[in-house]
Amino acid sequence: MVQPWWPLAALALIQLGDAVLCLKPVAFIRQCLVDVGFPRRFWWVLPPLKLAAAAGLVIGIWYRPLAVLTTAALVCYFVLAFATHVRARDFGRNLFLNCTGMLVLCGAAFAFAVTA
């Protein structure tokens, strides 16, 4: 079991909540996707991707290699999201609070998973 386990559990809850919010994107998520130019035809991919991340994090509590893989994938996801915000010149709340905050959380969870 990964110790401490709670960073993975907390991040899994965040990913689960985000997946629900992306099912029919709520206004702020919809606007963020539009602002960065994410094609509408791919919006359907986000909920399953986030659900898979949540599942990987939960299972990763007991199977460390999956925790490392899932947190590394989330770090990559948010690095790409950060670059997409910068490319779109979206320097507001979406970049500095949401994206950067999630990148820091995922990086911390990765550090916990690797060093556990």
Residue 62 pLDDT: 96
| Residue-wise pLDDT tens digits, 47-72 | 999 999 999 999 999 999 999 999 99
Residue 3 pLDDT: 86
Collect the ranges in the chain with pLDDT lower than 50. none
Query: pTM score, two decimals?
Result: 0.93
CB atoms inside a 10 Å sphere around CB 64: 16
Residue 116 pLDDT: 77
Residue 1 pLDDT: 83
Residue 95 pLDDT: 81
